[in-house]
Every structure is written in structure tokens, then in C-alpha cells.
Amino acid sequence: MSSTKFTFPRPDAFTDVRMVKCVADLDVSPDLLILDAEVEKNHGEALPVCSNVVILQGGEAAKTLSTLEKLLFEMSRAELRKDSRVVVIGGGTVCDIGAFAASTWKRGVHLTLVPSTLLCMVDASLGGKTAVNIRGKKNQAGTVYPASEIVICTAFLDSLPPSEMMNGLAEALKTAVIGDRRIVDYLLKKDYTRAVEACLTVKGRIVAADIEETGERRLLNLGHTIGHCIEAATKLEISHGAAVAMGIPIVAEMLGNHAFAEEFSGIAAKLGIETEIPDMITLESILEHLESDKKTTAMGRIWIIPDGWENCRQLLLDRASEKDLLEKIWQ
Ligand SMILES: NC(=O)c1ccc[n+]([C@@H]2O[C@H](COP(=O)([O-])OP(=O)(O)OC[C@H]3O[C@@H](n4cnc5c(N)ncnc54)[C@H](O)[C@@H]3O)[C@@H](O)[C@H]2O)c1
């Protein structure tokens, strides 16, 4: 078992990360336990015992105001105090909404996140972003509330469907590009414990320096500018992870880094991630969806460009230059 501490700039905001081998070793003491239904189904017997349990179906439908209301109601029923602890065990959706509720009950109770998907282990659990979807639009409202504790147990991955595993592999591969090439080797060897540890170290370093996302934290959006367009253009038929993985070689190619794009796609293929853009995705559909990118400013959009492994930078492109560069790829 190893332990790492990330200290965030706010004095009350730090996160201890623990790694444990078995689900039975989680060693958490919830006053209220929020559980993903699939976790309960697949790992129920080994989970911590708690007299106040809320079970949620994972997926985007969990991140609604009605779930938030339900959780706050359960927090009231359980008579949670300011010093009570909420433990959430689930994927990124259940963790996002569970953390949102925990951040608002009594203006913030103790929070432990136990991610049960690879994506949540390598990314969503760390950094403090909580969120709810509004009118079908993702992450429209939220708080920044880092969990005081994250417990990683890769044994949860034994029950994860391959498509969900692929989403996490893609985000981990993105993190390798941003900050630690060794993550590729861990992923290829299926050494998920080391991969998660390394991903959290990269993300923790970046988030600690920029909790409000005004600078370096934007690097974590590598592949997401095009990725979100691909998701939107295919009405989410292409999953988030696959779309981000497709987005990374495109941004490399935009700036003429063909060798890196090829190498990245080769590694992604070995991990079972397809990076070839399907014919149905046209340049017009990409340009249309680009306008809703969160990094859009009056001057243009900030793109995250991979110059190579562990070497990414932010680049502001105005709409004309952006269109020129993308046209070369879609020729
Ligand atoms: N807060 C952040 O910083 C941050 C970062 C990245 C992504 N996110 C959010 O994370 C969400 C995606 O999270 P996700 O990819 O974990 O998806 P998810 O939470 O929807 O989980 C995917 C599916 O796997 C099931 N599942 C969970 N754990 C399982 C297990 N151990 N075995 C079997 N099935 C299991 C869930 O019930 C669900 O059906 C998105 O809403 C995204 O916005 C948040």
C-alpha cells in the first residue's frame, strides 16, 4: 500500500491518495455511502457496511438536479453533521454528483472518493471538479471541492465492460502525452496500479498549480477540442475516450508533427483504441461544433498542441488559421 498527498493552494483543500489491493481493504468509515449500482451488483459483499446507503445508476442520467435533491434529502434523513463523512464509490458520473452534494451539504462535509472505473481512477476523482448536467448539457453547474481522500483499488476494474475500460485507457494515454511517457509501458503491461499512480501524479501536479483552470490545467484538455466535436457530431455514438484519442493525432498533424501522430496512433491501436476518423465526420460538422468549445475566446480558441511526449503547449488560433490547418487534414 502506498500513500501520496497533493496539497492544493487553498489551505483547506488537500487530497490524500491511498492505493489498496482488495475491495475488502478499502478501510473507509462512511456516515453516508453513495454507491454505483454496478459496483453494488459486482462487489457488494466486499463493500464497507453503512446504515445509510444510496444506490445510483451510473451514467450521465445520474448527474441531474433530481439526483442532487435526492442525495441532499438522504443527507438530511441521515442527519449528517459538518464533521460527517460521505463516501462515494462509483465511476465519474456518480463521483461528480456525489461530490457536488457533499460540497453543498452544510457547505461541505468530509468526502472520500473511491473510483470504480479506470477513467475515474486516472482522472475524474482528483482535482475537485464536481458537476451536474442541466437540460441535457454536460457539467453546466458545479463546485470545486477536492475530496479529502481518494482510495484506489484496481480490483474494481475486473468487472468493468471493455468499452468503459477503453475510455479510461484513452484518458490515461492522454496523460502519458502530457506528463509521463512511462504510463504507456504500464498500460501495455496492464499494470493498472502503476498507471493510475503515475496519472494521478501528473494530474495532481498540474491541478495543484492551477486549481481554477486559468493556466496549466488547460493542458488536461489535450485532444478534447476535436474530441468534443466528434462526440457531438456523432450524437455520442463515438464514446468520449475514443473521441479524445482521435483528437490527439489530429492536433499533432495540424502543426505538422506527423511522426508523433503516427506513433501515438500505433500505441493506441495496441491498446485497442481506434484513432482513425470515420468518414461520416466532415470538416463542416467539426467547425460547427467547435464554437461551443469552452476554450473559445473573442480572439479565437486555445488549442493544446502535443510537440512530443511530455511536451505540450497552449496555442491561441484565430478562426481563419484554425480552419486552414483543419482543411489540410480533411483534404
Ligand atoms: N470531475 C472531473 O474532473 C472529471 C474528469 C473527467 C471526467 N469526468 C466525468 O466523468 C464522467 C464519466 O465517468 P466514467 O467514464 O467513469 O463513466 P460512468 O460513471 O458513467 O461509468 C460508466 C459505466 O460503468 C459502470 N460501472 C462503474 N464502475 C463499474 C465497475 N467497477 N464494474 C462494472 N461497471 C461499472 C457505471 O454504472 C456506468 O454504467 C463524465 O460525466 C465526465 O464528465 C469528471
Q: What is the mean pLDDT of residues 156-161?
A: 98
**DSSP 3-state of 144:** strand
Q: In which band, very low, low, confident or very high, does the pLDDT at 146 lie, cut at 50, 70 and 90?
A: very high
Residues that are catalytic:
107, 129, 171, 203, 213, 217, 221, 224, 228, 240
pLDDT value for 208: 84
What spacing in Å lies between the alpha carbon of 267 and ligand 1's midpoint?
A: 24
Q: In this predicted structure, which of 12-21, 48-57, 181-190 has the lowest mean pLDDT?
A: 12-21
Return the amino acid letter for 260. F
pLDDT value for 330: 86
pLDDT value for 12: 56
CB 58 within 8 A of CB 93: yes
Site residues for ligand 1, CB cut-off 6 Å: 36, 38-39, 42, 58-60, 63, 90-94, 96, 116-117, 119-120, 123-124, 127, 129, 138-139, 156, 159-160, 164, 167
Q: In which band, very low, low, confident or very high, does the pLDDT at 299 lie, cut at 50, 70 and 90?
A: confident
Name the average pLDDT for the chain: 93
What spacing in Å lies between the alpha carbon of 316 and ligand 1's midpoint?
A: 31
Domain span(s) for CATH 1.20.1090.10 in the chain: 218-330
C-alpha 234, offset from chain centre? 20
- Would you give the DSSP letter of residue 120? I
Domain span(s) for CATH 3.40.50.1970 in the chain: 3-160
pLDDT value for 11: 47
What spacing in Å lies between the alpha carbon of 246 and ligand 1's midpoint?
A: 20
**Pairing verdict, β 3-7 and 14-19:** antiparallel
CB 119 within 8 A of CB 92: yes
Q: C-alpha angle with apex 311: 275 to 267, nearest 5 degrees?
A: 30
pLDDT value for 10: 52
**Which has more pLDDT, 270 or 8?**
270
Give the residue, out of 89, 117, 166, 196, with the most ligand 1 atoms within 8 A of its beta carbon, to mutate for a pocket test. Answer: 117
> Grid cell 482535482 — which residue?
127
Intra-chain end-to-end CA distance of the chain, in Å: 51
Asked if the model's pLDDT at residue 1 lies above 60, the reply is no
**CATH tag, 218-330:** 1.20.1090.10
Beta bridge partners of 141: 132
**Pairing verdict, β 14-19 and 149-152:** parallel
Residue range 218-252, pLDDT digits in tens = 999 999 999 999 988 888 788 889 999 999 999 99
Q: Please choose, from the candidates 160, 202, 201, 188, the residue with its C-alpha nearest in 3D space to the C-alpha of residue 2.
A: 201
Q: In which band, very low, low, confident or very high, does the pLDDT at 13 lie, cut at 50, 70 and 90?
A: low
**DSSP 3-state of 50:** coil
Indicate which residue's Cα is closest to atom 14 of ligand 1: 92
CA–CA distance, 200 with 125 (Å, rounded to integer): 9
Please report the beta strands in the chain, taking only residues with DSSP state E, as ranges in sequence order: 3-7, 14-19, 32-36, 53-56, 85-90, 110-115, 132-134, 137-141, 149-152, 296-297, 300-308, 311-317
Indicate which residue's Cα is closest to atom 6 of ligand 1: 124
pLDDT value for 8: 57
What spacing in Å lies between the alpha carbon of 168 and ligand 1's midpoint?
A: 9
Q: Has domain 3-160 been given CATH number 3.40.50.1970?
A: yes
Give the residue, out of 120, 139, 221, with the most ligand 1 atoms within 8 A of its beta carbon, to mutate for a pocket test. Answer: 120
Give the residue, out of 57, 140, 164, 213, with the most ligand 1 atoms within 8 A of its beta carbon, to mutate for a pocket test. Answer: 164
